Amino acid sequence: DILIGHASGRAKSPAHEIRWLNLTGFCVRPGFGSSADAWRLTELRKIYAAGLAFPKEIQCQVEWLVLWQRTSAGFTAGQQRELAQRVAGTLAIGSRKPPRLNPQIERESWRLLGGLERLDAGYRAKLGDELLARLRRDSRNAAGLWALSRFGARAPLYGPLNSVVPPHVAERWIDALLGFKGITPDVTSAILLIGARTDDPARDISPDVADRASRALKDAGVNGDLLRGLHEVLTHDRADAGRVFGESLPEGLRLGP
């Protein structure tokens, strides 16, 4: 709250803005679940509308993206949609030849999009398809694989169930990932999140795809215990929530029931 009260100080220099963006996002994460978060997000939305004080500074652009990664879970569906469209424009999604972006900006842009769980399932599927096409050219892109796993996750952390992409989309993504050259830990993690069993027929991938993924991952040397989630519902802990958000959550904050 003190940082929000001194938001104008970020205009003193790029270094001031970088530090303000980083600290504010860290303190407000994940944007809901704590008292007065609605007010905090209202104040941050004013910053969002105003934009960066130093928009040409690369590190300011990066910290801007990280700020919204950390807090946009508190955005409404409409606000997330507008944010996603803005970021998608920067990434030139749908363009035959994506622009050359600063690698850090591109990486954080996809991480931001992957965490927007209030986007409708159709739009999330479109973003995931675009990302998967790019991952085929860069299969060791850890940030991209993390974002794809969030687009395809069977169990959203905070979003509504109707935001989950259909099973046939998840199955298509899993088959594509299994075809990558080399099953890295990041590819494995993405497959396990996209194929995680929920016991909800409207969300679960087919047993055939789950079995195929399990066999392929075993053949690649993945520990069998890690594959249980493809066939049975597993409970999740604080560490899982931290992995989904990309960092640990504040102590004492509980999300969900």
Tens of pLDDT along 204-247?
999 999 999 999 999 999 999 999 999 999 976 545 555 555 56
pLDDT at 256: 55
CA atoms of 220 and 223, how far apart (whole Å): 9
CA distances from 82 to 64, 89, 185 (A): 16, 11, 33
Give Cα separations from 209 to 70, 173, 195 (angstroms): 33, 11, 9
Other C-beta atoms closer than 10 Å to the C-beta of 246 total 19
What per-residue confidence (pLDDT) applies to 94?
Answer: 79
pTM (2 d.p.): 0.91
The percent of residues in the chain predicted with pLDDT above 70, rounded, is 91
Do residues 179 and 135 make contact, with C-beta atoms less than 8 angstroms apart?
A: no
CA-nearest of 39, 45, 106, 107 to 72 is 45
The mean per-residue pLDDT over the stretch 139-162 comes to 95
Q: What's the pLDDT tens digit per position in 59-108?
A: 999 999 999 999 999 999 999 999 999 999 999 997 777 678 999 999 99
Show the CA angle centred on residue 175, arms to residues 173 and 180, nearest 5°. Answer: 95
| Residue 256 structure tokens | 């969900």
The 10 Å CB-count burial string (b at 16+, else e) for 190-226 is bbbbbbbbbeeeebbbeeebbebbbebbeeeebeeee
Mean pLDDT of 159-172: 97
Helix and strand counts by DSSP (H, E) for the chain: 12, 0
pLDDT at 257: 44
